[in-house]
Amino acid sequence: MRLGPLGLTELLIILAVLLLIFGATRLPEIGSSLGKGIRMFKTSVTGEDEPAKPPEKQETAKARSNTDDLA
């Protein structure tokens, strides 16, 4: 099975070396930050803006803080 210029054996060797260098706890962090970077690059190249997030309900937070003050 070949994925581009690299085969399965080469990919496993690269993964093992990365695991030895960075450790098992750092690999997910590196992967997520790499994914975020690629996503940001893609949106900047295509010129798309991030979709607008719905506003958070601040009224419920105020109501909770008012009831906390009473207790």
* CB-based contact 1:8 (threshold 8 Å): yes
* 61 vs 17: which has the higher pLDDT: 17
pTM attached to this predicted model? 0.46
Q: How many CB atoms lie within 10 A of CB 24?
A: 7
Across the strands, what pairs with 3? Answer: 6
Domains of the chain are 1-48 (1.20.5)
Left if phi > 0, otherwise alpha if psi is -120 to 50, otherwise beta: which for 39? alpha
Q: When comparing pLDDT for 67 and 37, which is higher?
A: 37
